[in-house]
């Protein structure tokens, strides 16, 4: 079962000595239950802020964020964030990182092991389960980050350019993995990327944001989401052009 994620009239600014930095103002965005929404926008426009708010790591100054029926008032296992830069626990092994959430959440040992085995195999890291994060490449760490997020079986996945540091082939594999995970569980996904093709390959819908404070400049439904063939269709080409134009490319 998945839940929707609604942001209504959200305002957030970071305090700074030279005056507050307004990242979001009167910002509205809804991800329907089971929908995949991709967010594109220039660097510094507020995309990570948006995800941190949805994750409950930051609180809006104004407006509301609601997951399903519940106002977001802090972090919760039903909403998992995959960080832009990995944020693994350095003192835990790869397996320890993946099992961390379920362990804290009271999931039994056998079930925890099973989830970790499946996820580590899915991200291609079974062999490295005893390593520590510092012994891994950046791309491997990012894959552990994905497995760790999925281990809690979240209903909402918040992903901050999760595949940006991966090589092209691994990236394709991780996108395919995400699609198969989504097909099995239909999480609602809010996916930030700077790659228009990634947004077209993964999303049911995408939005292009303006520079800070982020406003939605363009919002489009993808005609044949997650259909690799459709990436070269005339409709998708037209969407790509529109998105690139909105991004100012």
Ligand X SMILES: Nc1ncnc2c1ncn2[C@@H]1O[C@H](COP(=O)(O)OP(=O)(O)OP(=O)(O)O)[C@@H](O)[C@H]1O
Residues that bind ligand X (CB under 6 A): 14, 16, 21, 23, 41, 43-49, 84, 212
Q: What is the spatial distance between Cα 51 and Cα 82, in angstroms, rounded to a whole number?
A: 9
CB of residue 5 vs ligand X: minimum separation in angstroms? Answer: 17
Unique residue bearing structure tokens 């929404």: 37
Angle between helix 94-104 and 109-122 (nearest 10): 140
Residue closer to ligand X (CB basis): 41 or 225: 41
Residues in the chain: 249
CB of residue 156 vs ligand X: minimum separation in angstroms? Answer: 18
Token output for 6: 């609604």
CB of residue 45 vs Mg ion: minimum separation in angstroms? Answer: 9
Residue closer to Mg ion (CB basis): 48 or 93: 48
Question: Could you say which of Mg ion, ligand X, none residue 43 binds, taking C-beta under 5 to 8 angstroms by partner kind?
Answer: ligand X
3-state secondary structure string across 159-226: EECCCCCCCHHHHHHHHHHHHHHHHHHCCEEEEECCCHHHHHHHCCEEEEECCCCECEEEEEECCCCC
Question: Could you say which of ligand X, Mg ion, none residue 212 binds, taking C-beta under 5 to 8 angstroms by partner kind?
Answer: ligand X
CB of residue 37 vs Mg ion: minimum separation in angstroms? Answer: 16
CB of residue 25 vs ligand X: minimum separation in angstroms? Answer: 12
Residue closer to ligand X (CB basis): 125 or 196: 196
Q: Are residues 200 and 244 in contact, defined by beta-carbon separation less than 8 angstroms?
A: no
Question: Could you say which of ligand X, Mg ion, none residue 178 binds, taking C-beta under 5 to 8 angstroms by partner kind?
Answer: none
- Number of H-type helices and E-type strands within the chain: 7, 10
Residue closer to ligand X (CB basis): 3 or 45: 45
Question: Could you say which of ligand X, Mg ion, none residue 140 binds, taking C-beta under 5 to 8 angstroms by partner kind?
Answer: none
Indicate if the alpha-carbon torsion angle 50, 82, 85, 193 is positive or negative: negative
Question: Could you say which of Mg ion, ligand X, none residue 190 binds, taking C-beta under 5 to 8 angstroms by partner kind?
Answer: none
């Amino acid at each position: 079962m998945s839940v929707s994620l609604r942001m209504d009239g959200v305002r957030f600014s970071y305090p700074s000595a030279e005056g507050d930095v307004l990242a979001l103002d009167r910002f509205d965005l809804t991800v329907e239950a089971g929908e995949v929404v991709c967010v594109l926008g220039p660097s510094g426009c507020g995309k990570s802020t948006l995800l941190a708010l949805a994750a409950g790591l930051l609180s809006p100054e104004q407006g509301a964020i609601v997951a399903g029926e519940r106002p977001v008032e802090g972090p919760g296992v039903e909403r998992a964030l995959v960080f832009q830069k990995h944020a693994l626990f350095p003192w835990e092994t790869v397996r320890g990182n993946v099992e961390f959430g379920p362990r804290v959440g009271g999931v039994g040992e056998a079930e925890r092991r099973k989830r970790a085995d499946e996820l580590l195999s899915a991200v291609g890291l079974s062999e490295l389960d005893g390593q520590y994060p510092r012994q891994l490449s950046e791309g491997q760490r990012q894959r552990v980050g994905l497995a760790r997020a999925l281990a809690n079986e979240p209903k909402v996945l918040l992903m901050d350019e999760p595949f940006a540091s991966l090589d092209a082939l691994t990236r394709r594999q991780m996108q395919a993995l995400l699609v198969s995970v989504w097909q099995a569980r239909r999480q609602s996904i809010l996916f930030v990327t700077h790659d228009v093709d990634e947004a077209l390959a993964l999303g049911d819908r995408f939005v292009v944001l303006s520079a800070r404070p982020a406003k939605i400049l363009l919002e489009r439904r993808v005609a044949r989401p997650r259909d690799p063939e459709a990436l070269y269709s005339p409709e998708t080409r037209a969407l790509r052009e529109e998105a690139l134009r909105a991004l100012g490319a």
